[in-house]
Amino acid sequence: MRFRIWCAVLLLAGVSVVVGCRVADTDGITPVTQLLAFLPWLLAPTGLALLLAGLARWWAGVVWGVAVLGLLAWFIEPYGKVTTPDGTPLATFRVLTANVEYGRGTPALVDLVREERPDLVFVQECPDHCDTGLRDGLGADYPYRAAVEGEGADGSVILSRTRLTPAEPLPGTMGMPAAVAEVGGHDVRLQLAHPMPPLPGALGVWREELRTLEEWARRQDGAPAVLAGDFNASQDHAAFRRVLDAGMADAARLAGADRTPTWPARTAPPLGAQIDHVLVSRDFSVRTARFLDPAGTDHRALLVELTLHRGRER
């Protein structure tokens, strides 16, 4: 009996710390920051703790467990309001984002892009051999590009079928190129996202680079904008929610596919976290969002179909 109570206490205490940080709108410290990415999966230890408390007739623990379950259920709901643009549709196009894990997934990505033919492709962790593979395999169909070169995880590329004007990349540990794309005769600002992952020794850098993305979103001042890539963060991270609050919406959420795991690909979709996102300004509606599984990488790819609407006069 006492053993069951102690097990329930340990489980509930651990989950309560994570949920408490979510309530307080903070990402906390290691290991809370990392566990926040998997918040929905904390239902399992909470349910086990509730069962143990019930078997031990520890009624205070039962109440505690029910309260934690209620908070988890509340926070599992999609974050933020959903607004639908009511302006005239101007153009429809498709965006693909993929992390190719140090370039290992490049051949599979080339095949995927040839099959799906998205208009814009955001590629993270694309070193020199990846860049060469993309040029050789897709250069004829995607003649426009903006890139930050780098080895290992540092290189990133934006590819486009239509005119693309490179812009000043955002500063970061890993490459985050920017550009302006011509979509149906209208300019759309593009920014690739790839902040540092929340490693135990790099939480400060992770927060700072997500803050840089938040500031970029705020600077768009209502202009059509797409911010896509591997954010190394989910909607349960306060730093990512602040990017959404800066005027962006998660395309997967708008398409009804929120919380579909994208990493790690070896266990997704049954188990994982959605850390790869396509965020859009309020000028866009989302027609579809599909999660794809190219070989050779630890991330799933995300393909979304967007419609640009006429917004307010700028």
pLDDT in tens, 243-271: 999 999 999 999 999 999 999 999 998 89
Residue 102 near residue 127, CB atoms below 8 Å: yes
Q: Which pLDDT value is given to residue 312? A: 54
CA dist 281 and 224 (Å) reads 6
User: For 144-189, what is each residue's pLDDT tens digit?
Assistant: 999 999 999 999 999 999 999 999 999 999 999 999 999 999 999 9
Residue 183 covered by a domain: yes
* Amino acid occupying residue 285: S
Residues 276 and 132 grouped into a single domain: yes
Residue 84 covered by a domain: no
Residues 150 and 285 grouped into a single domain: yes
Residue 84 near residue 285, CB atoms below 8 Å: yes
The total domain count for the chain is: 2
User: For 4-48, what is each residue's pLDDT tens digit?
Assistant: 999 999 999 999 999 999 999 999 999 999 999 999 999 999 999
* CATH number of domain containing 239: 3.60.10.10
Structure tokens that stand for 202 in this block: 């790099």
**Dihedral of CA 118/215/257/14: which sign?**
positive
Residues 219 and 98 grouped into a single domain: yes
Which of 76, 99, 119 is where one domain is finished?
76
pTM (two decimals)? 0.95
- The domain of 173 spans 89-309
Residue 184 covered by a domain: yes
Residues 230 and 285 grouped into a single domain: yes
